[in-house]
Amino acid sequence: MRIEYDPVRDLLYISFASTDVKAAKTETIAPGVFADFDVGGRLIGIEVLDASEVLGERLEFGVKLEAITRSAA
């Protein structure tokens, strides 16, 4: 699963498939929320327009990356 957020367009996309899988069908599941399906009918992604309005504070998340130092054995 991959989550991408574009703050300029306020667009959130959650992908459940590899990048080479293309959507064969898109359905509206709520106002501004769309589900993408592959040719087999499997859910491959969800797109949320105006994500900051739809998700509110839940969109504000952070990831802290810490460097891991490994000692040589």
pTM (global) more than 0.85? no
> pLDDT tens digits, residue range 13-72?
999 988 788 999 999 999 999 999 999 999 999 999 998 887 775 655 544 434 444 444
Q: Please tell me the predicted confidence (pLDDT) of residue 24.
A: 94
Of all helices (H) and strands (E), which one includes residue 2?
strand 2-6
Task: Identify the burial level of 30 via C-beta atoms within 10 angstroms of its C-beta, where 0-12 means exposed, 13-18 middle and 19 or more buried.
Answer: exposed
Q: Is the dihedral of CA 7, 53, 45, 65 positive or negative?
A: positive
